[in-house]
Chains A and B, each alone.
Chain A
Amino acid sequence: MATIIFAVLLVAGWLIVRGGGRGTVLAAWTVSLCAILLLFNYHVGAKLPLNF
């Protein structure tokens, strides 16, 4: 999953650098953010409770 997200980030970065439109950039960035948050959610659930 991390590999796929890095691939998405690479595509998003390439779109930004190539001068993509506002909507395209925002869409690519939002997809990347949601993917990262989903993976974060999985790892929060998989790891033991906080060490308080």
Chain B
Amino acid sequence: MTGRLGFWLAHLFVLAYCGVLLGGFVVQFVTGDLPCPLCILQRMAMMLVAFGPLYIIARTRRGDVRLADYAMGYGMSIVAAVAGAAIAVRQILLHIVPPDPGYGSPLLGLHLYTWAFITFCVVLVFCGVSLIFARALVPRGVRFGWPSKVVCGLFLVIVAANLVVVFLQAGFHWFLPPDPDRYEIFHGLALWSAGAISGGATE
């Protein structure tokens, strides 16, 4: 029973971060708040955190998960969550002194980077508790079925979507601007086409 619980908790973990990352897209595309470089870094850290439970889920392809694999998965998540929390704290501290309004629109009274910090703290607690009860929670008697495929597929699609969106935002620039207000790829293409048209007219 607890072996199954550990397996489904790993799914819940990945799904929760899929929800958070999709929420970031909702804020980006519905309210029009473009993510800053630190926001993008927090998204990356969330993905890195989710690799831990994803690894545990994927190990069930080879049968029962070993305790070492389970510990490695959540160990990866803990390290990534510490890195993510450091990035979120950096952004909180940038905007901490009043009357700085903070970056972007608040959600339920807190800015998204503060929520990100809370999620990283929740991850640390969850992974700690999971490792305390690791012997009982190691997935046993489970298989990599369609729910696992859906969760893993959804996660990979979200990573791919982030790749496309950040390319649209950064264009062919090496780094994102500190306070982005446009999708650089469209701006660059507009300049290029305008230049091509004017260049064509002078010839």
Contact = CB atoms under 8 A, between A and B. Distances in A.
B166 A16 contact: no
Given A7-B163, A29-B51, A42-B175, A51 B83 contact: no
Interface stretch (B93-101, B122-130, B190-198): B93-101
A49 B189 CA distance: 34
Nearest to A14: B156
A17 B156 contact: yes
Chain B contact residues: helix, strand, loop or mixed: helix
Contacts of B72: 22, 26
Contact of A36 (B48, B55, B167, B175): B48
Interface residues of B, number: 44
B159 A51 contact: no
A44 B44 contact: no
Interface string B39-63: 0110011011001001100110110
B13 to A, nearest CB: 14
Given A19-B59, A26-B72, A6 B163 contact: yes
Interface of A: 1-3, 5-7, 9-10, 12-14, 16-20, 22, 25-26, 29, 32-33, 36-37, 39-40, 42-44, 46-48, 50-52
